[in-house]
Structure 1
Amino acid sequence: MIQTVDNYQKIEIDTNRYYFRFEGNKTQINNDKKVIGEKLEINLNDYQTKSLIFSFFKDEEKIISKNEDDLIISIKKDGDNYLAQTGNYVGKFVWQGLEIDIKSRFSNTFLERMLNFANDIFLDDVSITGNKVDKDFDISKYIIYYMFVQNLEKAFLLGLPKSYRSIEHHEMKLKGKIDINKFIKYDIPFQGKISSVSREQKEIQEIIDVLYKAVKIIDNKNKAFLKNILHIKTHLKQYKSNNYVSNETINKALKSKALQNPIFAPYKKVLEYARFIINGNNIEEKNDGKQETFGFIINVAELFEIYITKLLQKEFSDWYVESPKIELYDTPQMFYQRKIIPDIVMIKDKDVIVFDTKYKRMNMIGKNKNGAGDVDRNDFFQINTYMSYYQNKNFNVKIGGLLYPIEKSFIENKNICHSQTWFGNLNTKFIVDGIDLSNLEEAKDNENKFAPILKREQKFIKGIKNLLN
């Protein structure tokens, strides 16, 4: 097995370091090296034809635009060592018999914080797992389980989806209306019981079965995720059927008319996560060596974008925050017409702020020190294009720039990250900024686990507000 982290781009010489290493006995490692050969490269197009990919975005157009940089992992032999490079994807999967485990380079605490925001949980002390999840647990499962459990807990507050069904009775009391056919057939002469039928709201069996199946899989893999929903597990277990949960069962659950009721609409998302959990588990269980590639991966860059967007929405409630699709040269005769999709556009009257989020390494290395440096050339010109578009539309562009999870602490005055002008325009500031995750300490005993991250978030927000002022 190969272990590494996302956004890793180094030649690894010391195999004891975590970021790229071979795990297993000598025979297994030699077999893994044979699979790699001189070079092994896996990109998104190769992977999605053979296995599962989870996306936080529902807009297909946006998914495609955000996955242009589609490297998953590349390993190249370099003498006795290997040149390794990874992209924005995390997860544990098997590729042609080689097991690959790509983890997040940040702590599970930061991951949980981002997942909370993705689920619209903005309270500062909400944690599903506590600290009980093994750090070696498959990171893609960690994310899916977390999303499923948190969404199920929220949706269940209003109960499970229900629909009206006809219920047949044969009792001493009349319930509903008499079933004439059965009354004539079974109850004449009268023997003390009446055949009747009533319309009652009942929980939908397919939905219960699908949810219980997903909960059962999580329970078998890591019970820590279920600590907040044990009451839901008990309820589902009580009312589940013994039917096999097939793809047909899942589809029937997802197409249930009850989900059209706005009250139960949140279950659509819950059932989508359940389908991903069940299908992923089925692939693992049924794989007997015939399938050389299986497992699923997740694009963490999407999660980071959602997290930053919702953080800004929360802290700048008087601004409208969106990710618009902008048509360029959209007259029919222009063959080069296309759309641009800025990650974050904040609008207040005629003032606008434009950001692009980048889930890449940021150590503030300039282009003179290490080739192109930490700011990618394409990213740099892309954000300037977005800013120019709004400037030309007569908006007052207040701030624009690139936002990262930052691994090297800011210099306090930020002179190297914040420009007070943009192309000589004194009214616009260009910045490289983000959430400072460098030297992040563990929470103290009397603090909630997210306290250190909360302080860094507020530092980021305060910096943006200072620039506006």
Structure 2
Amino acid sequence: MLKDCSQIDINQFAKTYFGGTAKNKIDQAINWLQRLGDYNLNNNDVLRYTNASREMEPIVYCDCKGTWWTGRYVGAIFFDGISLDIAPRFPFSFFVDNFPINNFIPIDTKKSIKQEKSMEGTVLELMLAIQWVNLLVNASKHALPVVQKKKTHIKSAIVGRLDVRATLKQRVVDGSKVVSTSFSKDINNPITQVIVLAYYEIQKWFPSHDVMHWMPEVTAARLQKMIDATPRRTKAPNHQEIKSAKLMPIAREYRSVARLSKDVLNRKNLSEHQSHSTNKTMLIDVAELWEAYVFNVLKQVTPENLNVKNGTSASQNYLLKSEEKTLGKLIPDYLILDRNKSQNDDDALIVADAKYKRIGDAPWMSPKRDDLYQMSAYLNNFTHANSGFLFYPKWDDDLSEIVKQNPWQFNNGKELSFIQLPINLDDAITFLNKNAITPSTHTQN
């Protein structure tokens, strides 16, 4: 099983996905990896949960020695006829505990994980459930998924609007009757049905939780009305029935929920083969998750006299300036400022970055020269900052020799410390409380 930021065993990869380890199979595997490495990810390929802009990196890549590696993404890929999963190096509990699902979905790791399922399968189900809930929240802001139904009445009295042409024909048969039409709003329709059935399916994935509690009250209330209107033994509508349902204009956003709901019911979550003409990915950027996790830890351990905030695009620090233009905007992941003084970013006392890398693990071993140059530029431009920190995951009990030598000093006297942060929140908080981040304390014991 592939894992993020890990070496790919070409022989095993060729055997698993191309049917053998003969030279032609190895060549096919390498050729496929090269094409996947050249694939340009876009925002639709990666499930984003922050507004921060982030440069996309290759899903896989080859180092200078010819060794293939996975990048920083986990999830599922269907590319050029091959379907594969990339599992996380982190424990799955880290994902569940720290995934900021629109800030309103509380998931208890111990209750949510179904142990009999494979780790990567649960990750994919979680991603699919998150996407489904987010689409439903967006669609349900203003209305229920009602359709207009036209009903024809042949009676002695007009119901709704008179149908003149039909009435003239009716008069030939029965002169006492008129034909009229009325329109009603019907919530029990193919769109509602497929959404409700998808909800039941997602609920099976997390049997210890009420998925309804993952949603804002308005969304949960509207979903409950949809459930009440849908008979329990309703069969899943087919594609044509869903397509022909005429939603009211205000409810059109439900179509995207219906499409994803159909995927949920059909289990088309990328672990199954799709059309060979379709390339599709559903990925999480672990580096983005790590950045959010570090920020959460820092907020809980920063002393009361200091304030930690995300780096902001409002910063006016640039690497280069000419008379008319600027180049190379400097935006650290985190800035720490004195609460009793100016909160202008330029007055930051400490600058820090989160690095989803592992010290001593080639080819993504740290510290990278680029990262050192980056921190040097930050400390040079944030003139009040004398301390910088780089936060790496602490994958195991080994403490890097680089970390043991903290703090490191630049020629101008400013300091840089490398921190291996535990990936359990409580452990990370305990660790940083013992090693307080202040301008005068930089060592890691």
TM superposition score normalised by structure 2: 0.64
Maintained 8 Å contact 2:145/2:191 = no
Q: Within the alignment, does 1:224 sit opposite 2:205 as a pair?
A: yes
Q: Cα distance, 1:346 vs. partner?
A: 3.6
Unpaired runs of 5+ in structure 2? 153-158, 168-175, 213-222, 441-445
Post-superposition Cα deviations, 1:64-119, rounded to whole Å, max 9, x if no partner, equal: x3x2x43524499x9xxx8332211223334444444321112111121221x454
Task: Pick from 285, 299, 306 the counterpart of residue 299 of structure 1.
Answer: 285
Task: Pick from 289, 298, 314 the counterpart of residue 312 of structure 1.
Answer: 298
Post-superposition Cα deviations, 1:234-270, rounded to whole Å, max 9, x if no partner, equal: 82882899473899899x99x975799xxxxxx9998
Q: Cα distance, 1:456 vs. partner?
A: 1.6
Q: Cα distance, 1:357 vs. partner?
A: 1.3
Residues of 2 paired with 1:454 and 1:373: CA distance? 24
Q: Cα distance, 1:229 vs. partner?
A: 3.5
- Bigger Cα displacement from structure 2, 101-110 vs 239-248: 239-248
User: Which residue pairs with 2:426 in the alignment?
Assistant: 455
The total of aligned residue pairs comes to 400
Residues of 1 paired with 2:32 and 2:151: CA distance? 69
Residues of 1 paired with 2:150 and 2:31: CA distance? 69
User: Which residue pairs with 1:46 in the alignment?
Assistant: 39
Task: Pick from 303, 309, 313 the counterpart of residue 321 of structure 1.
Answer: 309
Q: Cα distance, 1:179 vs. partner?
A: 5.6
Q: Within the alignment, does 1:430 sit opposite 2:416 as a pair?
A: yes
Q: Within the alignment, does 1:343 sit opposite 2:333 as a pair?
A: yes
User: Which residue pairs with 2:156 in the alignment?
Assistant: none
Maintained 8 Å contact 2:83/2:271 = no
Q: Which amino acid aligns with 1:281?
A: K
User: Which residue pairs with 1:114 in the alignment?
Assistant: 98
Q: Which amino acid aligns with 1:111?
A: F
Post-superposition Cα deviations, 1:19-55, rounded to whole Å, max 9, x if no partner, equal: x655549944547424125894356652538x96114
- Bigger Cα displacement from structure 2, 40-49 vs 88-97: 40-49
Maintained 8 Å contact 1:283/1:294 = yes
Post-superposition Cα deviations, 1:352-405, rounded to whole Å, max 9, x if no partner, equal: 232221112235x8xxxx8995211112211222232222xxxx3264221121
Task: Pick from 268, 273, 283 the counterpart of residue 281 of structure 1.
Answer: 268
Post-superposition Cα deviations, 1:308-363, rounded to whole Å, max 9, x if no partner, equal: 223434555872512312463577844x7343432223444356232221112235
Task: Pick from 357, 360, 372 the counterpart of residue 360 of structure 1.
Answer: 357
Residues of 2 paired with 1:410 and 1:225: CA distance? 35
Maintained 8 Å contact 1:9/1:84 = yes
User: Which residue pairs with 2:406 in the alignment?
Assistant: 418
Post-superposition Cα deviations, 1:118-144, rounded to whole Å, max 9, x if no partner, equal: 543697946662343622534762441
Residues of 2 paired with 1:279 and 1:269: CA distance? 16
Distance of aligned partners of 1:209 and 1:397 in 2 relative to their CA distance in 1, 3 Å threshold: farther
Residues of 2 paired with 1:26 and 1:196: CA distance? 60
Maintained 8 Å contact 2:63/2:363 = no
Q: Which secondary structure state, in structure 2, belongs to the residue aligned with residue 379 of structure 1?
A: helix
Residues of 2 paired with 1:304 and 1:196: CA distance? 57
Residues of 1 paired with 2:189 and 2:439: CA distance? 54
Residues of 2 paired with 1:245 and 1:429: CA distance? 64
Residues of 2 paired with 1:237 and 1:29: CA distance? 56
TM superposition score normalised by structure 1: 0.61
Maintained 8 Å contact 2:403/2:417 = no
Maintained 8 Å contact 1:362/1:405 = no
Residues of 2 paired with 1:216 and 1:6: CA distance? 31
Unpaired runs of 5+ in structure 1? 171-177, 261-266, 438-452
Q: Cα distance, 1:167 vs. partner?
A: 9.8
Residues of 2 paired with 1:389 and 1:271: CA distance? 50
Distance of aligned partners of 1:422 and 1:278 in 2 relative to their CA distance in 1, 3 Å threshold: farther
Maintained 8 Å contact 1:344/1:356 = yes
Residues of 2 paired with 1:73 and 1:372: CA distance? 11
Q: Which amino acid aligns with 2:239?
A: Y
Maintained 8 Å contact 1:362/1:406 = no
Residues of 2 paired with 1:245 and 1:417: CA distance? 66
User: Which residue pairs with 2:76 in the alignment?
Assistant: 92
Q: Which secondary structure state, in structure 2, belongs to the residue aligned with residue 319 of structure 1?
A: strand
Q: Which amino acid aligns with 2:312?
A: P
Distance of aligned partners of 1:303 and 1:235 in 2 relative to their CA distance in 1, 3 Å threshold: same
